[in-house]
Amino acid sequence: MNSVILIPAYEPDEKLINLINEISGLPFYNIIIVNDGSSKKCACIFDEIRDKFDCIIINHSENKGKGIALKTGMREILKMDNKVIGCITVDADGQHLPKDILKIGEVFENNNHSLIVGCRDFQSEKVPIKNKIGNLITRDIFKFATGKYISDTQTGLRAIPREAMDGFCELLGDRYELEMNMLMDAAKKDMDIKEVPIDTVYIDDNRSSHFNKLTDSFKIYREILKFCFSFLFCSMLDLILYITLFVFFSQFTILPRIFIAVLLARVISKTFYFVMDKNDYLFDKGIIDIEFLKYAFAVFSQIIMSFFILYGLYLLGVKQVLLSKILAEFIIFIVLYLFKNFITTFNMSKQWQNVFRYF
């Protein structure tokens, strides 16, 4: 296989040696272990791996976090032969089984432009209740923020295509949040994301994890919260602008009055949103053109829908401007939500999904 196993390791124990022993015989291009500033007591672990196995070990002089370790490994992979298609990231605590690592590698070999994520079964009795609740909340928020459903957003077993590594190395994130930021970035850039079922393994209720429940959780949700803030800000801007413009153009008859208010409010608010949401790759060659066309189509469609619903509500007797606007946006939200679910449920073509992801 033309992919590299990448393992970030901090304060590992014998489980890392056992893992390397099991996967060293698998047909991967190479294995990279990033020692993320582990203490001297762990030196024997890395020494034994170095002596027994043909692995690349990169040492950080101090603990920098899982995100930095992943970036270090990806930068090393980018120096390798061009036939290397990417990497399979694996946790050092033994919770990813060799057969699942191989399964991810095989899927990746035939889909090397896709981000492959190994997804656990959170209905399993093996999963601690706090992990079940955390994943349920995170995947629902992720779907709301990106329009993409991933059943396991917190998995550390994933295949990363080489072409995405440069961009991922530039993302914010020193610790566990980088893994979420990679998913957010992939969703924004409409990278194909494939899910592969894997076994659910939690050793000693996940006690070996170095995850800080408070600080790491905040960092993981920061990018999603930033998206939600921009969405809510632009929604409020659209509402305020519509009411202001509706009052300002009071000399017009109702039909052009509604249309002008809807048009200007939506164009201004959506322009703000596009800049806030897409500024991370506005200058990527070739992306802005196609993305802007998709976005413009979505905005134009929403203007037409909003206009007809608002005018219909007016004819039905709903003439209070704030109430009618709120009702119109609620109706649009429900219609688009049902339509997106229809597209996903019936596996409509990726082209259709791409067109409607900005609605």
- Res. 189 pLDDT band, cuts 50 70 90: confident
pLDDT tens digits, 211-269: 555 565 666 666 666 666 777 788 899 999 999 999 999 999 999 999 999 999 999 98
Per-residue model confidence (pLDDT) at position 62: 92
- Is the pLDDT reported for residue 145 higher than 80? no
The residue ranking higher by pLDDT, 213 or 178, is: 178
Lowest pLDDT segment from 93-107, 112-126, 127-141, 328-342: 127-141
Q: Which residue bears the tokens 């790759």?
A: 281
pTM of the model: 0.67
Mean pLDDT of 63-68: 91
Per-residue model confidence (pLDDT) at position 280: 46
pLDDT tens digits, 74-84: 999 999 988 99
CA separation for the pair 28, 357 (Å, rounded): 36
Per-residue model confidence (pLDDT) at position 241: 94
CA separation for the pair 282, 274 (Å, rounded): 10
Q: Where are the alpha helices (DSSP H) in 112-194?
A: 129-146, 162-169, 177-188
Per-residue model confidence (pLDDT) at position 349: 46
Per-residue model confidence (pLDDT) at position 341: 64
Please give the backbone phi and psi of residue 358, each rounded to the nearest 5 degrees, phi first: -95, 0
CA separation for the pair 175, 220 (Å, rounded): 9
- Is the pLDDT reported for residue 275 higher than 90? no
Per-residue model confidence (pLDDT) at position 223: 63
Average pLDDT, the chain: 82
Per-residue model confidence (pLDDT) at position 95: 84
CA separation for the pair 120, 115 (Å, rounded): 16
Mean pLDDT of 35-55: 91
- Is the pLDDT reported for residue 159 higher than 70? yes
The secondary structure of residue 26, as a DSSP letter, is S
